[in-house]
Amino acid sequence: MQSIKQNNLLELLAKYMPDSPSQAHLQTQFRDFISGNPDCCERTLATGHLTGSAWLVSGDGLRAALMHHAKLGRWLQPGGHADGNADLAGVALREAEEETGLTGLLLTPGIYDLDLHEIPSRGSDPSHWHYDMRFVVRAGSCEQFIQNAESLALAWIPIAELAEREDIDPSIRRMAIRWLSCQD
């Protein structure tokens, strides 16, 4: 018997329209993970858990906000743990606000991208998987960051540049390419 959280997550996932075979495969992996783990939103699930991230774009849709993640040492989109919250779109919005200091952000409903990535062991935390659901979040009129301890830096980077960069996380490049293809 599925919990209400699991059912809500599975409904959200079923509405996602993958644009590639790899995204369709991830959709199946996410469905199986959610179906098999009533605690899929809990960080305490040692093998992995759901996270929510924001593809945070400027009001004009030409730039994306990335943070130089303090713990991982890489440029990534804002996002974080669900901590029991099955509203992953809300998690993505909350994390975008907390990690950038931006206000007046607008959430676009529906999953934009799925990503499954391994988080390396750190201290007493073993390596585990993040089943990351990503949502489009748009900046309003305010684009001035307020940095916090989770990042070494924050930057607005042209999406066209992200689509071309070989040195950026492949999932960010994938989201940039998708964004550009949808804007035509």
Q: What is the mean pLDDT of residues 56-76?
A: 93
Kind of pairing, strands 63-69 and 75-76?
A: antiparallel
The whole-number pLDDT of residue 70 equals 86
Q: Percentage of the chain surpassing pLDDT 90?
A: 84
Q: What is the mean pLDDT of residues 108-119?
A: 95
**CA distances from residue 25 to 32, 107, 116, 122 in whole angstroms, order as listed:** 11, 25, 11, 29
Range of the domain at 20: 4-120+128-183
> pLDDT band at 151, cuts 50/70/90?
confident
> pLDDT band at 174, cuts 50/70/90?
very high
Q: Say how many domains are in the chain.
A: 1
- In the predicted model, what is the mean pLDDT of the chain? 94
Residue 20 has pLDDT above 90, yes or no: yes
> pLDDT band at 184, cuts 50/70/90?
low
The whole-number pLDDT of residue 65 equals 97
- Residue 36 belongs to a domain with what CATH number? 3.90.79.10
**CA distances from residue 111 to 50, 53, 97, 132, 148 in whole angstroms, order as listed:** 13, 10, 18, 10, 26
Alpha helices in 37-158 (DSSP H): 88-100
Quickly tell me which residue has 């990042």 as its tokens. Answer: 151
Q: What distance in Å separates the CA atoms of residue 99 and residue 94, rounded to the nearest whole number? A: 8
- Write down the number of H helices and E strands in the chain: 5, 8
Q: What is the mean pLDDT of residues 77-105?
A: 96
Q: What is the mean pLDDT of residues 124-128?
A: 90
